[in-house]
Structure 1
Amino acid sequence: MKKNVLFALIAALAAPLAAHAEGAYIGGNVGRAEQKADFDGFSLKDHNTAYKVYGGYNFTQNFGIEGGVADLREAEKSESGLRVASKARTAYVAATGTLPLNEQFALIGKVGAAYSHVKVSASALGLSDSGSDNHASPYASVGAAFVLNKNVSFVAEYEYFGKIAKDGDAHIKANLVSAGVRYTF
């Protein structure tokens, strides 16, 4: 009887450590995306609600790989009859690093590459034009995780997608601040 109680106590205390261990995971985040654009003297900076889904695999407690897709939604600016809008989606793959601080908290960092598809539209004086761009850029992220149990963690992170579109001197940069849930198998 004492052995069973001792075993159950050790298992209960070790369960949170398993969440920082090896294995596959999936997750989803909701947050606020920011797009900053410069178009030949016209600048655009807008925030919108964004979403991302991702999956990964931790090879060790500290290192892994992750891939995901983020919908950064639409950024828009209207001024003096001119309307410019940018709609962005991006996919990324990154090496991950996890630094457990204790049984429940960990710091997370990611470095990799993002591939973005951006649709840009502009209209003024009854005329309109649109175009799209696909662009690869460096990707980086920092964040933290709170382990609820061996399968479920809550995460918060800041992600920088770099220049998601570029045409000559014109470019668009994007980042995402989000929170979500991660499920480890």
Structure 2
Amino acid sequence: MKQITIFAMIAALAAPLAVQAEGYYVGGNIGRAEQKADVGSASFKESTTAYKLVGGYNYNKNVGAEIGYADLREVSVSGNGAKVSSKPSAFYVAATGTLPLNEQFSVFGKLGVARAHEKLSATYTKVSESATENRTTPYISVGAAFLLNQQVSFVAEYENFGKIAKDGSANIKADMFSVGVRYSF
């Protein structure tokens, strides 16, 4: 009887890890996106609240794939009668690697490519200019997950979208730190 009880306890503890190991998931994150712009000798860094939606598949407990959309929201800088606004978003596809630490906690990393879409606008007195740019960039992410139950997990992650806009020596880089929820099925 004792062996059956021990086996049942081990199976109950391993079940969440097995569910986490394989299958589809969807989720969403909310967090802080930061844009860093370097324009010649001038530079600025601004942050705003951003969000992302994801979907993925875990082939096993260590390897998977994910696609996602991140809206990094608009930031603007004003001064001396001028205003510059930047509004990026990105679609990405990435390979994922997960290292389970125990039945509930794991760390993960992602490596892939992002297709960034950047809307830029500038106003000086009564003159306005705007432009858009689409750019493919490397995508890198690291994070941690906490498995609440067989379907729901909470994540915290840092993502780097690279240079989302570039024109000569001017460029804009974007990254995001966020927390979110994943639902596995």
Q: TM-score scaled to structure 2, two decimals? A: 0.94
Aligned-partner SS, 2:103:
coil
* 1:144 paired to 2:149: no
Q: CA deviation at 1:38?
A: 1.6
Please tell me the residue identity of whatever aligns with 1:160.
N
Question: 2:41 aligns to what?
Answer: 41
In the other structure, the counterpart of 1:166 is: 166
In 2, the alpha carbon distance for the partners of 1:41 and 1:6 equals: 67
Quote the Cα distance in structure 2 between the aligned partners of 1:2 and 1:100: 28
Which amino acid in 1 is paired with 2:92?
Y
| C-alpha distance in structure 2 between counterparts of 1:3 and 1:27, whole Å | 39
1:113-165, Cα deviation, whole Å (9 max, x unpaired): 00000000001112111000000000000000000011110000000000011
Please provide the CA RMSD for this pair. Answer: 1.7
Q: Distance in 2 between matches of 1:55 and 1:163?
A: 24
Taking the aligned partners of 2:19 and 2:53, their CA distance within structure 1 comes to 19
Q: Indicate the SS of the match to 2:72.
A: strand
1:96 is matched with 96
Counterpart secondary structure, 2:16: helix
**Which letter does structure 1 place at the counterpart of 2:13?**
L
C-alpha deviation, 1:3, in angstroms: 9.2
Question: What residue in structure 2 maps to residue 179 of structure 1?
Answer: 179
Give the letter aligned to residue 127 of structure 1: V
- Tell me which residue corresponds to 1:54: 54
Query: How far off its partner does 1:169 sit?
Result: 1.4
Alpha carbons 1:96, 1:111 under 8 Å: kept: yes
2-structure distance, mates of 1:142, 1:94: 12
**Residue 75 (structure 1) aligns with:** 75
SS at match of 1:103: coil
CA separation in 2, counterparts of 1:125 and 1:91?
35
Summarize deviations over 1:8-33 as a string: whole Å, max 9, x none: 54443222212431111111000000
Q: Gapped runs of 5+ residues in structure 2? A: none
Query: How many pairs does the alignment contain?
Result: 185
Q: Does 1:154 align with 2:154?
A: yes
Q: Percent identity?
A: 61
- On the 8 A contact 1:19/1:149 being kept in 2, the answer is no
Give the match's secondary structure for 2:21: coil
Deviation digits for residues 98-122 of structure 1 (CA, Å, limit 9, x no counterpart): 0000011000100000000000000
CA distance in structure 2 between the aligned counterparts of 1:27 and 1:146, rounded to whole angstroms: 14
- State the alpha-carbon separation in 1 of the partners of residues 129 and 40 from structure 2: 16
2:112 maps to 112
Output the CA distance in 2 between the equivalents of 1:41 and 1:133. Answer: 22
